[in-house]
């Protein structure tokens, strides 16, 4: 992961933790890592694994997509990707 993306992820992780009113110690204990790991994620020095990211999103009640990209996931329809082809898809 690029350094800028790591830092942005870290900023979002910290903001989500603060919004959830949780300490780094609490988060670390809840998902089975050290407080230093949580700190490293929040500073962008390292990144949580996919499993850890899923646990963090559940703990913070925030979509993992929001943590990664800064916005909620918005599904796209195939019809939106292929304008003028709706009839083709329907039948």
Residue 33: C-alpha distances to residues 22, 26, 53, 68, 76 (Å): 15, 10, 12, 20, 36
- Residue 18 is predicted with a pLDDT of 98
Per-residue pLDDT, 1: 66
**pLDDT of res. 74:** 80
pLDDT at 84: 63
Mean pLDDT by 10 residues, the chain (91 residues): 91 98 98 98 97 97 94 77 59 48
Radius of gyration, alpha carbons of the chain: 17
DSSP 82: S
Cβ distance 47 to 6 under 8 Å?
yes
Tell me how far apart the alpha carbons of residues 61 and 26 are, in angstroms, rounded to a whole number. Answer: 15
Domains annotated on the chain, with CATH: 3-69 (1.10.260.40)
């Amino acid at each position: 992961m690029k350094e800028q993306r790591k830092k942005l992820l870290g900023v979002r992780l910290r903001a989500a933790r603060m919004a959830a009113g949780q300490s780094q110690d609490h988060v670390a204990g809840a998902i089975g890592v050290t407080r230093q790991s949580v700190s490293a994620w929040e500073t962008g020095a390292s990144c949580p694994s996919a499993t850890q990211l899923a646990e963090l999103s559940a703990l913070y009640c925030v979509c993992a997509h929001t943590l990664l990209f800064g916005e909620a996931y918005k599904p796209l329809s195939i019809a939106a990707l292929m304008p003028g082809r709706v009839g083709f898809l329907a039948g």
